[in-house]
Structure 1
Amino acid sequence: MDLATNYMGLTLKNPLVASASPLTGKLDTIRQIEDAGAGAIVLPSLFQEEIEAEAARYDLLTAVNTESGPEAQSYFPALTDYNIGPHNYLELVRRASEAVDLPVIASLNGITDAGWISYAKQIEGAGAKGLELNIYFIPADLTTTGREVEQRYLDILRSVRAAVSIPVAIKLSPYFSSIGNMALALQDAGADALVMFNRFYQPDLDLLKLQVLTDLEFSEPNEIRLPLLWLAVLACRMKVSLAASTGVGSADDVVKYLLVGADVVMTTSALLRHGPGYIATLLEGLAAWLAARDFASLQPVRGIMSQHRLRDPQAFERANYIKILQGYRQS
């Protein structure tokens, strides 16, 4: 069974990608993910904000009582020895790239133009085969326009694209007013791949303590529907690679994403629930589905149920909404 696919210029042995999570931040689980058969791995994001906050804390600590005596400065480690900055992350990129044969894709979340560019260059130098831009931006300022949000994404992408030569993917938000047009704009700006979608974590409220809760919730299978819709719309119309993300709990979900046109299928929650070895279960289910229908490879399967190739393309548009309402029968 030939499960090979191409993702942002990288040849993968299969379309299953372990996306960014605590599991992909440790060498032992990275090796387990490879042993389970993953086609590629995305490391957790390097957060510029976290690095700068750490550096600020160090500066604050070393500034205390520095005038109290001539040897006061010797109480603190030299900055170069304290590993302030991206050192640990870059070391993870290097060690992971050396430890496994599958492509290691880094992830970056910056907050300034200089940060995006500088860290992207360092990540490339550390040996990453690709870079995923995790633009996690909530436009809470009520004066920010939709066009300004779009331009922010495009400016970041263009800056990074001009700074590195490795393939660049961008995690696309589902909240743009015209996702298709934004996808085309990102393609024109130099993206090699689009990841659909970045899953923003919404807060909850603790009614007893009257506090905001920021706990992590795993994705659920019903969340597949939004990315499934837009992958179906974009597939066969875009030159960039398309990555499906969110709601992958079983091999059936993997198959659905491939049918609508995804080049790769990323999963995080399923691996956190079941462990790194669950990749093998997903792959076995995918291979069994293909074999049962006499498919020898992914090529004839990918995109056969995209909107462009359906006899009834309106099934992914408003007509489907009307049919769903008309077809409902209260039990």
Structure 2
Amino acid sequence: MKKILSLCVALLAATQMFASFVPKFGENGKCTISLSDLKATDGVTIDAKAGTITSDGKGEFYLDLPAEGVDLSACTNLIVDHEGDDIVQLLLVEDAKSGKVGGFYSSKYNLDLTQYADKTSAVNKMEWHCNVAGTMTVKSITLTKKVESHFQYKADEIALTEVFFHAWSAPTDGEDQGKVPCTLALNQELSAGDLVYGNVNVDYLQYAPLDGFKEIRIYGDPGLKYRVLLNRETAGGKLVELDPEGDENGLAVCDISSLPYVHLNAIKLAWGSSKGVVKGLCVSTTATGIRECHVANEQDIIVSYNLAGQKVNRNAKGLILQKTKDGKVIKRIVR
């Protein structure tokens, strides 16, 4: 009986030792992959305790995924936060149903998966191929998926979702060519430069047409800085960029009512922004984001500017920015 019990324990331990990796996501939509979850071929050594991966210039390290694959179609990105030697040449991703998803070179450490949602329902291969001898220290490996938003919007607000975002035959007056992959990165920590909404490459033929709306509103952590990128008309060409910043309540507002048309290509965290979380993203049919500001003591105003950056009289008509003695910048509408 003891021998049978010992054999069962040994078989269970062996099963667990060689079990395939299946990602488990927390409430924040993140799955942390530890170095002990990785396997390696000849030429690569993984030291989970030291947090390092060493290569002699060849070989791979990989996630041992089930042969039938795992569904990553709801995932937004895969990030390897690392330092030290750049030992990896490419990241190879394959799917049991759709075949090769891609061999990724420039995005081998930071892969935007939203572009491949229709090809990643059964991912069974994720391999980092090494071609340089050296040692890389891995701080973290994180797989992130979309988290359902339960943000409560106001009566005049409409949630800005992936449904708005389509491909078009032309930047203006084009034919609708249907939905395309669209990032919507809510309720997850973002860093400077990360994509909040839209297409990471700011493709001029992929956008959300928002004509008729008056504001884009972003609800996030206080002080977050954004780049709202609109109306690109050529590949890599000029565009309209709005740079709102979250107020003390985390609300950042873009007034789009004066633009001749509104085609939203992307929203990103600005390069100078702190890390933070975006909780809600919407458009509004009314312009309530910019409110008239009354200054208790107008003697505190030291200078006023219009939106073109020109100094104006403090009673100039329209929307002006006023700087006070204590360093605050106040938006004020003078009618």
For the superposition of Structure 1 and Structure 2, which TM-score range results when normalised by the shorter chain? under 0.3
Structure with larger Rg: 2
TM-score by length of 2: 0.26
Greater RCO (CA < 8 Å, at least 6 residues apart): 1
- Greater percentage in helix: 1
